[in-house]
Amino acid sequence: MTRIIGITGGIGSGKSTLANCFLAHGVPVIDADEISRFALTPASDCFPAVVELFGNEAKKPDGTLDRAYIAAKVFADSYARDALNGIVHPFVIREMLKRSGESDSPFVAWDVPLLFESGVDAYCACTVAVLCGEEIRVARAMRRDGANEEQIRARIRAQITDETRAALATYTIRNEGTLDAFYAEADTLIGTILEELL
């Protein structure tokens, strides 16, 4: 059976960077954010439930969902947000399990920002938390997304802290230096993890 390695960390901590290191070691990566975006496309089987929740006003003339309309609705209405999460979150878990089951690799890595908050760690053989101080994360996220500092800090406040992640994770890795230093540490850690899981 394919064993799942859960990767988590705060915004801009370096989860995707670590996931790419797993990929370089031949471990396929499944990205929860990518599946959440897929959930809102007509190709996903939860699309009809999302349309039913928001009504036809949420559809654009080309049949795809109007993400800006949905974002405004869930921002203004916590009931709508919870209802949308109630559709999308189970879909994301089902889809990650399905893709993992279809993989012929002995290991897959799941990149899940809210791994512990959502309880998805229960599916994992082990978990890795990427740790990084808030100021560095804010600077990285602003540089990458051109996002507003206050929005990023609000998202960070809504997540668990690095202390909690470190206490819950099987392994931790810090990402506060250069990318080359991180790649070197990640290589060693991935070697250890794959050896222990074999």
Which residue number, 69 or 171, has a Cβ lying nearer to ligand ATP? 171
User: Of these, 4, 13, 110, 128, which contacts ligand ATP (CB under 6 A)?
Assistant: 13
Rounded to a whole number of angstroms, the minimum distance from the CB of residue 114 to ligand ATP is 10
- In whole angstroms, what is the distance from residue 194 CA to residue 14 CA? 20
Using the minimum distance from each CB to ligand ATP, give the nearer residue, 93 or 115.
115
Selected range binding ligand ATP among 7-15, 62-70, 76-84, 86-94, rule: CB under 6 A: 7-15
Cβ closer to ligand ATP: 11 or 58? 11
DSSP H or E segment with residue 4: strand 3-9
Say if CB 21 and CB 142 are below 8 A apart: no
Token pair in block for residue 182: 């991180």
- Please report, for residues 49, 147, 195, the alpha-carbon distance to residue 128 in angstroms, rounded to integers and kept in the order given: 33, 26, 15
Q: What is the phi/psi pair of residue 104, to 5°?
A: -95, 10
Minimal distance, residue 11 CB to ligand ATP, in Å: 4
Binding residues for ligand ATP, how many (CB under 6 A)? 16
Whether the CB-CB separation of 62 and 55 falls below 8 Å is answered with no
Nearer to ligand ATP, 11 or 190 (CB): 11
Residues that bind ligand ATP (CB under 6 A): 9, 11-17, 113, 140-141, 144, 175, 178-179, 182
